[in-house]
Amino acid sequence: MDFLTQDEIKKNIVANINAGMKALGKTQQELANFLGVAQQTVSKYCVGLNVPNEATMNKIAYFLGVSVNELYGNEPLVFLSDEEKEFVLKLRSDSDFKDAIKKIVESGNPTIDEMNIVKKLRENPSMIEIVKRVLDI
């Protein structure tokens, strides 16, 4: 197993923050507003002059709809829309919803009540992979 150096981790963080902002059409100012910091602080993250602390990394990951592991470069980047972020948050916080989705993903045979969820998943095939990752299935 190869371990990343601090410089490699820093480069990954810079590249992935920039890639995420570009993919989502977000600006440094929008990220700064979300984080409650000056735009110059975000600019320093984006060019590698500063590295965000752990709490800030969590907030940036949430803003971009990715995991902290994705920001570090340990996993491939998968960007989520606002609707997908809401879906994942509900999946993580609502055990009945989580059980229903898990049943759908594992069985592939949804009930009539689950058809709306299935329709939404089928409209966005990447959601199945996101659901599997969130549920560890």
What's the pLDDT tens digit per position in 66-117?
888 888 887 777 766 666 667 766 766 777 777 766 766 666 665 555 556 6
Is residue 127 predicted with pLDDT exceeding 90? no
CA–chain centroid gap for 25, Å, is: 15
Alpha helices in the chain (DSSP H): 6-24, 28-35, 39-47, 54-64, 68-72, 82-93, 95-107, 115-123, 126-135
Position 11 scores a pLDDT of 93
Q: For the domain made up of 6-72, give the CATH fold.
A: 434 Repressor (Amino-terminal Domain) (1.10.260)
Position 31 scores a pLDDT of 95
Q: Which residue has the higher pLDDT, 62 or 110?
A: 62
* pTM exceeds 0.85, yes or no: no
**Residue located via tokens 């879906």:** 87
pLDDT in tens, 26-42: 999 999 999 999 999 99
Position 135 scores a pLDDT of 58
Q: What is the residue extent of each domain of the chain?
A: 6-72, 82-135
How many other CB atoms sit within 10 Å of the CB of residue 28? 19
